[in-house]
A = this chain, B = another copy of it.
Amino acid sequence: MPSTHVVKAFDDELQTVISKIIQMGGRVEWLFSASVDALLSGATDRAASLIAEDADIDRLEAAIEDEAILVIARRQPVATDLRDLFSAVKIASELERIGDLGKTIAKRAVLLGDDRVVRSARAAISDMANFARNQLKTVLDAYVENDAAKATSVRNADAALDTHYTACFRQILTYMMEDPRNISSCVHLLHVAKSVERIGDHTTNIAEYVLYRVTGEIPRDDRPKGEAIESVLAAEAHRA
């Protein structure tokens, strides 16, 4: 049986990993939020300054991964302790991808500047981003609180984000068809909308690893899905 000293050392190491996840989650949420704000307010300089922030997030992921493997190798944890470490690695990987997508939005914001297409689509983009931001915030709370019900609610709400995405997509496509001079801006903006939709997918993946941490089971059933953009494009193609 391990001594109290070893148990205490393990708990400290595990807490360090969990604290880093919480820290990383906060940074990622902030970067996403700040990038969308910079886009919607046409703040090019602000957007440019955000691009470099993603490197810190990458470093946090590397630190979490290295630390978790070291702890597994050193302490040979089982059951819930192993689940805590495994879910930390998976969640760090999802957060890293959300950070990347936040950086993508900042890059597009730099290129778009104060653009008329962004101004026209502001409400739709803002609604979608707020929804995604709220999902991310809720799943990070669920992680901190080990709250399975909260994680399940995030997983189930992803379909609503798909619907927001489809609305954005439809609107941007209309601007593109109205005036070919809008195409460049619209391609950027479609990419932003897709990035937000993918942030939602990664957020849902985090919800699944929170559920795994709490229950020991990773949900493998299909998630609820919203209206797909394929139907919008098919309808457009039919009209053309």
Across the interface, name the chain B residue whose C-beta is closest to A74. Answer: B78
Neighbour of A183 across the interface among B79, B173, B218, CB < 8 A: B173
Tell me whether A10 is interfacial, beta carbon within 8 Å. Answer: no
What band does the interface of chain A fall in when counting residues whose beta carbon is under 8 Å from B? 35 or more
**Distance from A152 Cβ to chain B, minimum over Cβ atoms (Å):** 19
Asked if A78 and B73 sit within 8 Å, CB to CB, the answer is yes
Across the interface, name the chain B residue whose C-beta is closest to A190. Answer: B187
- Given A237-B185, A240-B181, A82 and B78 touching (CB < 8 A)? no
0/1 interface trace, chain A 129-155, chain B, CB 8 Å (1 if under): 000000000000000000000000000
Tell me whether A76 is interfacial, beta carbon within 8 Å. Answer: yes
**Distance from A225 Cβ to chain B, minimum over Cβ atoms (Å):** 13
Q: Which residues of B contact A89 (CB under 8 A)?
A: 86
CA–CA, A180 and B181, complex, Å: 11
Asked if B187 and A233 sit within 8 Å, CB to CB, the answer is yes
Asked if A237 and B190 sit within 8 Å, CB to CB, the answer is no
Asked if B220 and A62 sit within 8 Å, CB to CB, the answer is yes
Neighbour of A184 across the interface among B66, B185, B237, CB < 8 A: B237
0/1 interface trace, chain A 171-196, chain B, CB 8 Å (1 if under): 00100110011011101101000000
Across the interface, name the chain B residue whose C-beta is closest to A78. Answer: B73
Tell me whether A1 is interfacial, beta carbon within 8 Å. Answer: no
Q: Which residues of B contact A180 (CB under 8 A)?
A: 176-177, 180
Neighbour of A69 across the interface among B76, B82, B187, CB < 8 A: B82
Which residues of A come within 8 Å of B, CB atoms? 58, 62, 65-66, 69, 72-73, 76, 78-79, 82-83, 86, 89-90, 93, 107, 111, 173, 176-177, 180-181, 183-185, 187-188, 190, 218, 220, 230, 233-234, 236-237, 240
22 A-B pairs whose Cβ atoms sit less than 8 Å apart in the complex: A65-B218, A66-B218, A69-B82, A69-B86, A72-B72, A72-B86, A73-B78, A73-B79, A76-B76, A76-B78, A90-B93, A107-B230, A111-B230, A111-B234, A173-B184, A173-B187, A176-B183, A177-B180, A180-B180, A184-B233, A184-B237, A185-B237
